[in-house]
Structure 1
């Protein structure tokens, strides 16, 4: 499904959005940080993917963009490793969960409700 959105500078751009996927994760948002929920596989694999990224990119001091960050599991982990992280997602509810969890965890992550196309339009 293609959805046309308008960004803050009134430019128009096309987003490649699967509305059903966004709705699915909106409905599951409250369980994002429950390691025994539907997100258990994500929690289980997170240390592996974090180590993979860190070993190849060296997260400390890097500026990182997490596209489709959802509830922020990977974003927070990268921030804990010293990266300056921006997480973007089209689901408002998961972003709310991510912001709250980051605040409760004492980690700084910038979370934005924007598509990657919208972000690219802002920062050409």
Structure 2
């Protein structure tokens, strides 16, 4: 596990600059709002969120954390962007969302503070933005209870994902700001599976996420070529 803060200062600065736009449904974060019901529904196909403790790693402005709390989960959202967390807290107050709190803390630190403390751990669209994704996966595994679930979503690293996620999404369709993703930081499913195995997590299911530029709609599919999700479980002891 990394002994220093597992974060890229440039990545934190990039998202901090956009923090005030997290809850603007027509902003750079529109895709996250659009895919949120899909990923939330997929998570709940494995584990009910009501009355469960959930931690959202790299929560940003709280899009997933807020939605999970509205499903009845007791949610902690963590991030290292002070501005994003302030936006998340302000939105929770304005929307009167109960059951969600936010902390500025790294996954590695929280894993030490709260081992086996959560029923569900989510780490969505975050691993491709940190220097050491394996360390985050290990921390997620340490935070979840035996029998609990850990969910990841990230971007594959191959020519198709470069064309679709960077050239297409950032430069042609302009769904995301230029520079949102770096090709070298994308993670192949085989690599993430190895991280999970090393952390003691059992991979239970994978899913793909696709975008139709004609309809402007996202949907879940069975291809992990570009955006993909992992459902993993910590074995019962």
Indicate conservation of the 8 Å contact 1:35/1:43, yes or no: yes
Q: CA deviation at 1:56?
A: 1.1
Higher mean C-alpha deviation, range 83-92 or range 114-123: 114-123
Which of 99, 112, 118 is the aligned partner of 2:109?
118
Where do 5+ consecutive residues of structure 2 fail to align?
116-237
Aligned residue pairs total: 113
Deviations 1:9-38 (A, max 9, x none): xxxx42221111111111000000001000
Matched, 1:37 2:27: yes
Pairing 1:79-118 to 2, within 5 Å after superposition: 79-108=69-98, 109-118=100-109
C-alpha separation between the residues in 1 aligned to 2:11 and 2:17? Answer: 10
Where do 5+ consecutive residues of structure 1 fail to align?
3-12
Structure 2 counterpart of 1:60: 50
Structure 1 counterpart of 2:65: 75
SS across alignment from 1:56 = coil
Which of 6, 22, 30 is the aligned partner of 2:12?
22
Deviations 1:41-61 (A, max 9, x none): 101100101111112111011
After the TM superposition, list the runs of 4 or more consecutive aligned residues in structure 1 that deviate by more than 3 angstroms. none
Q: CA deviation at 1:69?
A: 0.1
User: CA RMSD for the aligned pairs?
Assistant: 1.2
Which of 12, 36, 48 is the aligned partner of 2:38?
48
C-alpha separation between the residues in 2 aligned to 1:118 and 1:86? Answer: 14
TM-score normalised to the size of structure 2?
0.46
